Amino acid sequence: MDFQEFKNKKEEHLVGGGIEKQKQRKQKGKMNACERMYSLFDSKSFVELDPFVTHECFDFGMERKKILGDGVVTGYGLINSRLAYAFSHDFTVFGGSLSLPFAHKVCKIMDLALKQGVPIIGINDSGGARIQEGIASLAGYAEIFHRNVKASGVVPQISLIMGPCAGGAVYSPAITDFIIMTKSSFMFVTGPEVVKEVTKENVSFNDLGGAQIHNEKSGVAHFVAEDEQECFRILHTLLSFIPSNNLEIPPRIDTKDDPLRENDELNFFLPSSHTKPYDMESLIRKVIDNGDFLEVQKYWARNIIIGFARLDGNSIGIVANNPEVLAGVLDINSCDKATRFVRFCDCFNIPLVALVDVPGFLPGTDQEWGGIIRHGAKLLYAFSEATVPKLTVIIRKAYGGAYCVMNSKHIGADYNFAWPSAEIAVMGPEGACNIIFKTEIANSSKPNEKKVELVEQYRAKFSNPYIAASKGYIDDVIEPIETRKRLISALHSIYRKREEGPRRKHGNIPM
Ligand code: HXC
């Protein structure tokens, strides 16, 4: 048996694209593909597959440039003692670009993860399709995309972006559930040079597809990490809220936070004025276990807040309007953001909690021409089709169509509560009076004073939770300090909920 050959090959595999390239990466503070796997998985648990695979390309002198592993490290291991499969691009090998054998390595671990029902983690650092391979590389990508789609909603798929990612290397992450970008990474369909050639636009890597751009402007990414270690920390926290597959429930964690705990501050939390903003995130933290909230897409569409938390140790997904940004209205981006999150939670048996303070949909040509009708309908559809336990607390405003959309009783929420401060009405008092008392105000000798008087009358009559509660649309009006214990009690009473829809291939959510 020739152990020497075996050892030589193993060593050759470890240096990937060569010692010099590895050194250059170290100088940039980047880990190599294998080191990233060791950081991802629990100590000594990573097992590599397919280290001897090479490409099969004979063009452009490629037959003389075969590198063991062919630019991707694949395998499985434990993350916080739970099994997961992962791949890690090696940028030192042809810029981490994808050949057909490379794609087949990735497909193999995706298939294994699907059979086991465990998460697929992708560590992406790649220039996209390997140009020398041509169509074979595109075929490889398409095989990966097909698996991404098959795995969607069955096992969690999470993408870490740890370097420049272009072309096919961004489309696979785009199908996955969450994207975490390090601050020094990029994502674009085509890089700045191609952009310059085609559109004559001069744009830097960062401005085109940097982490901040995708976290703030495009909404492509869900988290930004200071460095690679933080990227893994975010991933580990995220996974702690999520089950391994769609047939399991999320792991329960003993948070030691008293389920009956009341928070006295909540009774005095809202500003005295109906129109003044307040800190919804701080409200969320006062209600959930130990104030631990993993906010998702923190920098994009900030008029809605989404994220994971726990109530009595059970994972929940929170969707909350944010009165501090655009008064918490629903617009195109916030609807898209919340829709995908609601659907993720529904796929993976994570109960939903909506905290509502919404004055309506954002008016204007920008929104109408951009299709707010279509985008708003998505969120309505998502809450409506979700079959996980669904709870709602109306904190202040719940007006018009936005009331219906934000997990109302009528679209299948299980428990709907309201604070005494809730204003549940077809629209805000000013808007309503302008329409129904138009003539009365116009004919008045003091139209401004008349309007104030009518608005006050309308507010007193309609801007409260009791009309909705009298019809059973609200299950109870609760004291703010008891929000936590009422939500926990409601969650316990509905946790085993099973809801079957009609048999069909799939619905047709407006896109
Ligand atoms: C083959 C590639 C490559 C690729 C990079 N390299 N991208 N080799 N195919 N797609 C090689 C380079 O030749 C170089 O090799 C090494 O990787 C490092 O690349 P650099 O350009 O020196 O690195 P950097 O300056 O950091 O820039 C990284 C980059 C840039 C931004 C990723 O390389 C780039 O723009 N690459 C092309 C990106 C692209 O257009 N991809 C789209 C492919 S089409 P040496 O030997 O010099 O070290 C596609 C379609 C899929 O993906 C469709 C799906 C729907």
> Where are the chain's structural domains?
3-240, 264-426+464-494, 429-462
Centre of ligand 1 from the C-alpha of residue 407, in Å: 45
Low-confidence ranges of the chain (pLDDT < 50): none
pLDDT for residue 1: 66
pLDDT in tens, 417-463: 999 999 999 988 888 898 999 999 999 999 999 999 999 998 888 88
Q: Which of 235, 251, 233 is nearest to 243 (CA)?
A: 251
**Which atom of ligand 1 lies closest to the CA of 131?**
9
User: CA-to-CA distance for 377 and 374, rounded, in angstroms?
Assistant: 5
What are 370's two structure tokens?
């951009």
User: CA-to-CA distance for 354 and 392, rounded, in angstroms?
Assistant: 5
In testing the pocket of ligand 1, which one of 131, 138, 161, 187 has its CB within 8 Å of the most ligand atoms?
131
Tally of CA atoms within 13 A in the half-sphere of 408 that contains its CB: 22
CATH, domain range 3-240: 3.90.226.10
- The answer to whether the beta carbons of residues 321 and 331 sit under 8 Å apart is no
What are 233's two structure tokens?
């920390």
pLDDT for residue 11: 87
Task: Give catalytic status of residue 168 as yes or no.
Answer: yes
pLDDT for residue 388: 98
CATH, domain range 264-426+464-494: 3.90.226.10
DSSP state of 363: P
Centre of ligand 1 from the C-alpha of residue 41, in Å: 28
Cβ neighbors of 473 (< 8 A, separation 6 or more) are 408, 409, 410, 416, 424
Residue 369, SS3 per DSSP: helix
In testing the pocket of ligand 1, which one of 21, 59, 97 has its CB within 8 Å of the most ligand atoms?
97
Name residues contacting ligand 1 (CB within 6 A): 94-95, 97, 127-131, 138, 141, 164, 166-168, 171, 190-191
pLDDT for residue 219: 98
**Which atom of ligand 1 lies closest to the CA of 205?**
31
Centre of ligand 1 from the C-alpha of residue 113, in Å: 29
pLDDT in tens, 61-103: 888 888 899 999 999 999 999 999 999 999 999 999 999 999 9
Centre of ligand 1 from the C-alpha of residue 263, in Å: 54
Task: Give catalytic status of residue 313 as yes or no.
Answer: no
Query: Burial code of 84-123, b = ≥16 C-beta within 10 A, e = fewer?
Result: bbbbbbbbbbbbbbbbbbbbbbbbbbbebbbeeebbbbbb
Nearest CA to ligand 1 atom 20: 95
Does the pTM of the predicted model rise above 0.75? yes
* Within this chain, domains 3-240 and 264-426+464-494 share the same CATH topology: yes
Task: Give catalytic status of residue 127 as yes or no.
Answer: no
